[in-house]
Amino acid sequence: MTKTTALIFGHNKYSHEIVRNVKDKYSNIRLFSLDENNKTENLPELEYFDLSDKWTEIQKSVDIKNSMAFCVLEDTAENIFLTISLRSNFKDLTIIAISSNKESANKLLMAGANKVIPLTETTSDIITNMLEKPISHKVLHDILYEESNLKIAQVQIGEESEFKDEQLTSIDWTRYNGIVVLSVMHEDMKSEFIYSSKAKHHIIKPGDVLIVVGFEKDIQNFENKIRSRRYVNWSHWSW
């Protein structure tokens, strides 16, 4: 059955990505922010809430059983509190939440989330499908799940990116300290190693996604330098 309403809590890159991916799957999308000063462009009108809300208005206007809430507040404690509050008021609501690590994921599940999405999950699926050698699996497992500061991220090429219309082989990757670029993912979700014979001749287009490994600070610097941003495929979670 098609969900009737998507309740999206948070005004950030994750919530914006959700709106873009699920706008055709729900009859109604409601976007909530904790900050009354937030502005929105090309997005649903913002509604404001605070973490002490009793959700009376939502209870009156939303078919809870056939709707889904996305808890994507960037502050972990606030996201957990929000999840607890929604679950205590709506036992039949499907709740999807994001987490930055395994500890917060466990807390969100205990708080009542039906599903918790680590921000590396989509990327890990892509990488795992690409790599076959056991040693590669071990390295990636250690990055994703063990005590490591390294992260895997998906960086989507934007219209303003300096990589736009560049051939992969023409890029000097050594300019980007601390970053290892593994592959490029096209709009059809097919991935290729950047050093494969086919990928070498690929012309980068807006919407292409680079799979990179690095420390968080280096990944952020990489995003800023190439004027692109991290990507999460939220359409997979619009049950």
Torsion of CA 104, 109, 111, 114, to 10 degrees: 130
Question: How far out from the chain centre does Cα 68 lie?
Answer: 17
Per-residue pLDDT of the chain (239 residues; tens, 9 = 90+): 456 899 999 988 888 888 887 888 888 999 999 887 776 666 778 899 988 888 999 999 999 999 999 999 988 899 999 999 999 999 999 999 988 877 888 899 999 999 888 776 555 454 445 444 454 555 555 655 555 677 778 898 988 898 888 888 788 877 888 888 888 887 665 677 776 667 767 889 898 888 888 888 888 999 998 888 877 666 555 55
Q: What is the pTM of this model?
A: 0.55
DSSP 204: P
Structural domains of the chain, ranges and CATH numbers in brackets: 5-119 (3.40.50.720), 122-234 (3.30.70.1450)
What are the residues whose beta carbons fall under 8 Å from the beta carbon of 57, sequence distance 6 or more? none
